Structure 1
Amino acid sequence: MLTKTEKNFSILFIILLAFEIATSSIDSTASLNYIAKPALLISLIVYFYKQSNHINKTIKKFTLLALCFSLLGDILLMFVSQSQNFFIGGLIAFLTAHIFYVLVFLKQRNRSKRGTLFITLMLLYGTLLFYILKDTLGEMLLPVIMYMIVILTMATSAFLRKDQVVKYSFILVFIGAILFMISDSILALNKFYQPLPFSNFSIMFTYAFAQLFIVFGLLKQP
């Protein structure tokens, strides 16, 4: 169950998300969107920082770094229309964020759990996505392969927390990791394969709730 603090923040977060989606749908280069998009992660960073005094200091530090690099990625991707270099910079920022999440999740991993079936499913998913994208990636082939490996590792490491942390913490973090993977997959398909309907909404919706669920889940672990 969500606490009163979590419910109040969730309402604020959803309002900010709706504001971001609305402003980007009207004009993604408008000044309001440059405020709305970073506001999501800034609010989450502040919330996590204030609510995380009870958790392991290393996990707190790595999670804050993951959120800060995600914020950097959000900011860089807002300027993609000006230069492709901003996309590459955003990719590197989110790659770094995923690595920090991997470090957080592995610190809480269940050492007795192998996760062979889940790893197989992730490999199949990654292979299918790569097969769809491979002919359109061009010079982005290696960076995208590296990114896919890291995000699949992030989802797998979230799964490996099972039975090592409290159930509610595991469920929220795992759902968040899967949503993050889905968000990045939609973004990749939309950019490299073909434009998808309602892509801005689906990318931001899954991304925002991915970050929210991961933060809530980590805070649930004593």
Structure 2
Amino acid sequence: MYRRLLIAAIIISGLGYLFALADENMMMRWIFKPGTIILMILLAATIRNVSKPYKNLIIIGLFLSAIGDCFLLLSGKQWFTFGLVAFLFAHLAYVAAFVTRWRFSRYHLLALIPIAAYSFLLLNRLHTDILVGGNAGLWIPVLIYVVVISIMIWSAVISRSWIAVTGAILFFMSDSLLAWNMFVTSISWAGYGVMISYYLAQFLLTKSIERSKKNVIAYENYSSIR
């Protein structure tokens, strides 16, 4: 019952941020933007009988994301960079989580083709516009960030969780829209598109914790046989 209430609270909080964004209410944005992620952390904490390493790493990723959200609410290139770094470490936490479910197959190498192609095309355009826009100092952080989030998507593929893969892809789409709106061309609906895809991504990554029940059961059965 309490989990359903948490999910309802997450939806209400996420919608609250969208309304605060439309109303340009900064106080409400400070409450709802990181608050929605904190509610997801609470939801993750209520999931029982799952792989603790995976669960804890996802929670760490969510916590770092909440910190990144706060930095991005502040104006200035330095705060954007801090937010970028916070999300960079969040993605590394997600990569570490997916590695705990590592089930590699040589066929997974094929997934690198669309991931690398999209990342290359995005970086190629961002490189030009970042330099032309006088933001040369942000190019290396953006480059590293795109590489890491690409690795995150591939790691999700290898974990063989469609929920995690969908969440990772949505995260990249959200960040791509954010970067495009910031460095390439202004998009009127970008703020809403970024946050809707971002919240969906984080929610799916949170829900992906539940899949690890099978790993726990399999390990316990193996241990009992031994």
User: Normalising by structure 2, what TM-score?
Assistant: 0.87
Query: How far off is 1:61 after superposition?
Result: 2.1
2:112 pairs with one of 112, 119, 132: 119
Query: How far off is 1:33 after superposition?
Result: 1.3
Query: For residues 79-158 of structure 1, what are the structure 2 equivalents within 5 Å?
Result: 79=74, 81=75, 83-137=76-130, 138-158=136-156
Distance in structure 1 (CA, Å) of the matches to 2:125 and 2:157:
26
1:191 pairs with one of 171, 174, 182: 182
Distance in structure 1 (CA, Å) of the matches to 2:121 and 2:67:
29
Please give the secondary structure, in 2, of the residue aligned with 1:115: helix
Give the gaps of 5 or more residues in structure 1.
163-169
1:161 pairs with one of 159, 162, 165: 159
Query: Residue 216 of structure 1 corresponds to which residue in structure 2?
Result: 207
Query: How far off is 1:5 after superposition?
Result: 5.9
More off after superposition, 191-200 vs 108-117: 108-117
Please give the secondary structure, in 1, of the residue aligned with 2:111: helix
> Between Structure 1 and Structure 2, which shows a larger proportion of helix residues?
2
Give the gaps of 5 or more residues in structure 2.
131-135, 214-226
1:47 pairs with one of 22, 25, 43: 43
2:20 pairs with one of 2, 5, 23: 23
Distance in structure 1 (CA, Å) of the matches to 2:58 and 2:171:
15
Contact 2:13 2:32 in 1 (8 A): yes
| Number of residue pairs aligned between Structure 1 and Structure 2 | 208
- Counterpart of 1:86, as a letter, is W
- Counterpart of 2:138, as a letter, is M
Please give the secondary structure, in 2, of the residue aligned with 1:55: coil
2:56 pairs with one of 61, 70, 85: 61
Higher relative contact order by CA 8 Å / sep ≥ 6: 1 or 2? 2
Contact 2:3 2:43 in 1 (8 A): no
Larger radius of gyration between Structure 1 and Structure 2: 2
- Counterpart of 1:18, as a letter, is L
Please give the secondary structure, in 1, of the residue aligned with 2:114: helix
- Counterpart of 2:12, as a letter, is I
Please give the secondary structure, in 2, of the residue aligned with 1:109: coil
Distance in structure 2 (CA, Å) of the matches to 1:199 and 1:67:
22
Identical residues among aligned pairs (%): 27
Please give the secondary structure, in 2, of the residue aligned with 1:99: helix
Distance in structure 2 (CA, Å) of the matches to 1:210 and 1:55:
20
Distance in structure 1 (CA, Å) of the matches to 2:37 and 2:109:
33
Contact 1:62 1:103 in 2 (8 A): yes
Distance in structure 1 (CA, Å) of the matches to 2:162 and 2:116:
21
Query: Residue 163 of structure 2 corresponds to which residue in structure 1?
Result: 172
User: Normalising by structure 1, what TM-score?
Assistant: 0.89
Residues 113 and 9 from structure 1, CA distance in 2 versus in 1: closer, same or farther, beyond 3 angstroms?
farther
Distance in structure 1 (CA, Å) of the matches to 2:3 and 2:171:
20
Please give the secondary structure, in 1, of the residue aligned with 2:68: helix
Distance in structure 1 (CA, Å) of the matches to 2:55 and 2:182:
33
Query: How far off is 1:180 after superposition?
Result: 0.4
Contact 2:164 2:208 in 1 (8 A): yes
